[in-house]
Amino acid sequence: MDRRRTHFRSRHCALFALLGAAPLPALASTDLFFSDLPIVASVSRLPQRQADAPGSVTVIGRNTIRASGARSLNDVLRLVPGFQTFAPSDKPARVNYHGVTDDNDYSPRVQVLVDGRSLHSPLFRGGMNWELVPVALEDIERIEVVRGSNTTSYGTNAFLGVINIVTVDPALVRGVSLSASNGNQGVRDYSVRTGARLGEAGSFRLTMQERSDDGLDHRAVALDDQDWRTRNRTRLLDVAAHFQADSRNQLELQFGRVENRYLTGRLDPYSLVAKATDPLRTADQSSNWLQLKWLHTLSEDADLSLRYTHSEDRLDNSFDHPTLGRVNPTGGRGTRNELEALHTFLPSERTRMVWGASLRHDVLRSPTMLEGIDKVSRDIGRIFANGEWKPLEWFTGNLGLSYEYDSLAGRHLAPRASGAFHLTPDNTVRIGYARAWRTPGTLDYTANQRRSPTRMEWVGNRDLPAEALESWELGYLGDWKDWRMSLDVRHFRERIADRQIHRIRTTGSGPDTVQPVHDLRIRGHEFQWKWQPFDATRLAVGHANIRIDAALTAVGRALADPASGSNFSSDPTKVQLYQDLSELSAPRRSTSLLWMQTLPLGVELSVARYWVREIKWTRNTDTDKYNRTDLRIGYPFSLGAQRGELAYTVQSYDGAHVEERMQRIVERRHWVSLRVDF
């Protein structure tokens, strides 16, 4: 068929001058038939069919986010099989997939992207600070959670999984929306969202939000353990704009800032005197970003995108140390500049190809953590390609390869391959293999932090290898449209070599270091089942069964030898403690259930129920199994032209339980929210 385009540009202004007539709106109508329109369905923007995808994907849409009753992003991920998180207190929230955590990491093994921009930062040990989420939940279009490694598409931090957040297109935000929430535990949230057209060919959206709460209540634990306090306030400004230069060229601009103020440090629970070497104090952290993206549609089968991102993270929790003077532990400034080019095209009817390259320059400054070094730079270059091949109606093959050069971590090649067998259009079996690397954070290599004038607290380990992953998976995807039901099952076997743990002292009085002490075998299965039995009723069940076995690496064995004098070996229970941290970092079983029900008058009721078995987040803490129920009831209303919603949300309806450590009790939290749209 002839795909010729007609170019029919409006010259009506000149014509009307010629005719001496006033422009009539109806005379613009012919343009509708022959003029070009902005290409929305470009090949990279259209989603891949789930049955063709190389791995398991959980997609969380706007309605599910709202129904989950979540106030922060980490809570939403409780719905995804295999993911764990906890209610933050003075301990910032973390999100892990299949466990693998250490005492103070920032979830570095799961990549988090917002519109292509990674939220990982050199300041946060190469991970993501979950208190600095740069997007309001209301501005999320959908979250695509890739369960399983995908470093060939998303870089080394996509070691175990990827959380890919797509924000609402500015063209879909109009008017002004105000909302406020008020609840117990100091919950006070306010937000303003607005969006409008920018000239003839552009749109923008802008969100300002403040969320604050008093965290968890220290009085809920024994007086002995009341050496902490918590309070939290987060402010966000998020602006996104797009300009349609012509039907084939689109520019996107995003910028914003998120800042968080929280309490940190310790005090004596009896005298209430602050601990001199870690006094109770206010700390501030923030993240600024700017992103420019150009999307060029080459043809209906190909497009090209170019993205530049600048981000800067800061943390200041400084205090006057009795012997070291002014210090700023964990504080500093991390900047990241990234340029990425991505070419997506369909070489033939049966193939789809994405390839690209990126360059990244990271700089970390921290007078306290990089004492005497001041600044560390890191350059990373990456090329990658992913291809999909559908030679037969019943088979889809995926192949990916990436090559990365890292000025600190060296060179790494990561391949992946998968084959999906479509037994019927509704039933697919998939087998996949991936090899991946996780390069340690900049500080893991270079830290130089003092504990006292004569002793170091933490020094970098220049010999750290990258963690290596080898993963096999067997998946099944059933999509029964007639039954309005889908089932995704994933059985996995993952081997991680050189799993790294912080806070290991190689000699008795030496500093903490990060050491590759364990080789892990992670195996288990996950499933998610969705069913819409009636128009007004939706059910989603997620379940994960995970077993982790840890064995000592050569480095681990050497450190475990009492002759080494390391803290790892100082007594046999220490070795076991680290072993437990590896093996119990994911609960053996976790289940989630979400029930969404539309009631008469448009009232929306949702109940989320979670069952989580024992888990260990740090060396010296344990968490018992717990159940948690969150529920939300929302009443959408119209008052003349204005629309809005009145909602009531309860988290942890079943009351006190523990999610991170026994000294932090999570109690029932509830709040009322009112939203009015103008």
> Quick check: 550 and 522 in contact, CB under 8 A?
no
CB of 675 to another protein, least distance (A): 14
Q: Which is nearer to another protein, 224 or 535 (CB)?
A: 535
Q: Which is nearer to another protein, 181 or 428 (CB)?
A: 428
Q: Which is nearer to another protein, 6 or 271 (CB)?
A: 6
* Tokens describing residue 191: 């937000």
CB of 47 to another protein, least distance (A): 5
CB of 129 to another protein, least distance (A): 29
**Phi/psi of residue 223, each to 5°?**
-55, -35
Q: Which is nearer to another protein, 353 or 559 (CB)?
A: 353
Q: How far apart are CA 410 and CA 380, in angstroms?
A: 9
Distances (CA, A) of 304 to 153, 299, 354: 16, 10, 10
Q: Which is nearer to another protein, 84 or 177 (CB)?
A: 177
The shares of helix, strand and coil residues in the chain, as percent rounded to the nearest 5, are: 10, 55, 35
> Quick check: 200 and 178 in contact, CB under 8 A?
no
Q: How far apart are CA 511 and CA 637, in angstroms?
A: 60
Strands (E), 37-109: 56-61, 83-85, 95-97
CB of 296 to another protein, least distance (A): 15
> Quick check: 241 and 288 in contact, CB under 8 A?
no
Binding site for another protein (CB under 8 A): 1, 4-9, 11-12, 14-16, 18-19, 21, 24-30, 32-41, 43, 46-49, 51, 61-62, 141, 169, 171-172, 174-175, 197, 200-201, 203, 244, 247, 300-301, 346, 425, 479, 643
CB of 48 to another protein, least distance (A): 8
Burial class, 539, CB count within 10 angstroms (exposed 0-12 / middle 13-18 / buried 19+)? middle
Burial class, 470, CB count within 10 angstroms (exposed 0-12 / middle 13-18 / buried 19+)? middle
CB of 479 to another protein, least distance (A): 8
CB of 542 to another protein, least distance (A): 21
Q: Which is nearer to another protein, 74 or 244 (CB)?
A: 244
DSSP letter for 600, please: G
DSSP letter for 51, please: G
Q: If we measure between CA atoms, which residue out of 401, 265, 270 comes closest to residue 320?
A: 265
DSSP letter for 122, please: G
Residue 503 gets the label, from left (phi > 0), alpha (psi -120 to 50) or beta, of left
CB of 493 to another protein, least distance (A): 30
Instruction: Determine the Cα angle at 163 with ends 588 and 242, to 5°.
Output: 165
Q: Which is nearer to another protein, 28 or 656 (CB)?
A: 28
Start-to-end CA distance of the chain, whole Å, equals: 47
Q: Which is nearer to another protein, 55 or 331 (CB)?
A: 55
* Tokens describing residue 85: 């998180």
Q: Which H or E run contains 263?
A: strand 249-264
**What is residue 220's three-state secondary structure?**
helix
Q: How far apart are CA 299 and CA 343, in angstroms?
A: 12
Q: Which is nearer to another protein, 352 or 360 (CB)?
A: 352
Print the SS3 string covering 430-448. Answer: EEEEEEEEECCCHHHHHCE
Q: Which is nearer to another protein, 20 or 453 (CB)?
A: 20
CB of 41 to another protein, least distance (A): 3
Burial class, 278, CB count within 10 angstroms (exposed 0-12 / middle 13-18 / buried 19+)? middle
Q: How far apart are CA 150 and CA 536, in angstroms?
A: 36
> Quick check: 162 and 110 in contact, CB under 8 A?
yes
CB of 177 to another protein, least distance (A): 12
CB of 300 to another protein, least distance (A): 6
Q: Which is nearer to another protein, 174 or 521 (CB)?
A: 174
* Tokens describing residue 50: 């789930």
Q: Which is nearer to another protein, 62 or 361 (CB)?
A: 62
CB of 98 to another protein, least distance (A): 29
Q: Which is nearer to another protein, 35 or 629 (CB)?
A: 35
Q: If we measure between CA atoms, which residue out of 335, 394, 400 comes closest to residue 361?
A: 335
CB of 238 to another protein, least distance (A): 18
